[in-house]
Amino acid sequence: MDRLIQANGQPHFGIFAEAPGLINHRDFDFRSPMGRRLGSLAKWRRFHQFQYFGLISDQLIGGCALADLSLAGVGFVYLFHPPSGRMLERQFKLPLGLGTRFSQRPDDGICQLRSGRNLLRLENLGASREKRLLVELDDGLRIDARFSESEPGFQPMCLNTPTAVNGWTYAQKVAGVRCSGRVSSSLGDFDLAAIDAFAHHDWTAGYMRPQTHWNWACLSGQAAGRRVGLNLSCGVNETSFTENCYWLDGELIKVDTVRFAFDREQPLQPWAIDSHDGQVALRFEARGLHRQRSNLGILASDFKQVFGRFCGVLRPAGRDQVVIDNLWGFVEDQYVKW
């Protein structure tokens, strides 16, 4: 599919075998809930986009996100060192997205934020099917990490769902892939291939609900000699289709709806995550937390990303179950007004 929005102004919906070439949101026939056609200003204000790159290993856990919220460009990066329990965090907010750049090509483009001598950059390299994260901060922290989707048979989860009465959300997820590169920081210097790091990636854009909430779970690693990745969510991308899935040695396996059972006021307490079809039964024990809270009136966010260990089972239909035994990963609880 070359473009997500069709000639009649309506999006393609469904789960796709591959990503659209362009998220041409400006061609969307955007209307009010009562059917009035909306102009370019409303399209700019209501369109939001974000991208996330995560790292997982026993020695180092990290995450970097960039978001275009129309009224602001935001980004964060953090590193957590499990052996010592030490953590580094930086956050950036730029009014009207000044100093940011966002491509609408999920598999071939650059998204970046530059603030003074600080750079957060996410590259999607079409020719090589690589995803690259480059972070250079004024305190000396540097991350140069990448992974490839070029292995035969690997398929990312790509889907577009109706959102509320007049919107849509395109999401593209990857997990369970090996990561290479280097990290230099006050926590130490790390060769990501040498510490057997895995990566996960999220590229999302669309006309989302003005107020929304979601839970998310992701893990990547090795289980019973197999590469395993997991992507589960509840609260977004669940209209007609869901993004829930896991990967076994790069093979995408679809999952039904899921339930997250946890205490919102105590996110470091254990979580239980189970799918309606019985394929997923996991328990999560927290080890650390990255949190951002802001309330600017028209923009607000309460974001909790918790990293820790998963235990439980995956039960692919007609196959032996896969035991998940203390694999590192993430859960998330987020409320957004935008």
Q: pLDDT truncated to tens, each residue of the chain (338 aa)?
A: 999 999 999 999 999 999 999 999 999 999 999 999 999 999 999 999 999 999 999 999 999 999 999 999 999 999 999 999 999 999 999 999 999 999 999 999 999 999 999 999 999 998 889 999 999 999 999 999 999 998 888 999 999 999 999 999 999 999 999 999 999 999 999 999 999 999 999 999 999 999 999 999 999 999 989 999 999 999 888 889 999 999 999 999 999 999 999 999 999 999 999 999 999 999 999 999 999 898 888 889 999 999 999 999 999 999 999 999 999 999 999 999 99
Which pLDDT does position 122 carry in this prediction? 98
Alpha-carbon distance of 161 to 284, in angstroms, equals 28
Radius of gyration of the chain (CA): 19
Residues 22, 3: contact at Cβ < 8 Å?
yes
In a domain, 208, yes or no: yes
Alpha helices in the chain (DSSP H): 40-46
In a domain, 187, yes or no: yes
Which pLDDT does position 296 carry in this prediction? 82
In a domain, 25, yes or no: yes
Residue 76, both tokens: 């964060």
Residues 112, 92: contact at Cβ < 8 Å?
no
Give, as one character, the DSSP assignment of residue 257.
Answer: -
In a domain, 2, yes or no: no
Which pLDDT does position 314 carry in this prediction? 98
In a domain, 203, yes or no: yes
311-to-131, 281, 308, 325 alpha-carbon distances in Å: 28, 9, 10, 5
pTM of the entire predicted model: 0.95
In a domain, 263, yes or no: yes
Residue labelled with tokens 């589960």:
232
In a domain, 322, yes or no: yes
Q: Which of 103, 160, 110, 158 has its CA nearest to residue 130?
A: 110
Residue labelled with tokens 């926590």:
187
Residue 41, both tokens: 């200003």
Domain encompassing residue 76: 14-337
What CATH number is associated with residue 231?
Answer: 2.40.370.10
Q: How many domains does the chain have?
A: 1
Which pLDDT does position 110 carry in this prediction? 97
Which pLDDT does position 276 carry in this prediction? 97
312-to-96, 259, 268, 278, 318 alpha-carbon distances in Å: 44, 15, 18, 12, 18
Residue labelled with tokens 């929005």:
5
In a domain, 9, yes or no: no
Number of other CB atoms surrounding residue 193 within 10 Å: 12
Letter string b/e over residues 156-166, b meaning 16 or more CB atoms within 10 A of that residue's CB: bbbbbbebeeb
Contacts made by residues 120-125, CB under 8 angstroms, sequence distance 24+: 120/64, 120/66, 120/75, 120/77, 120/92, 122/51, 122/53, 122/64, 122/66, 124/203
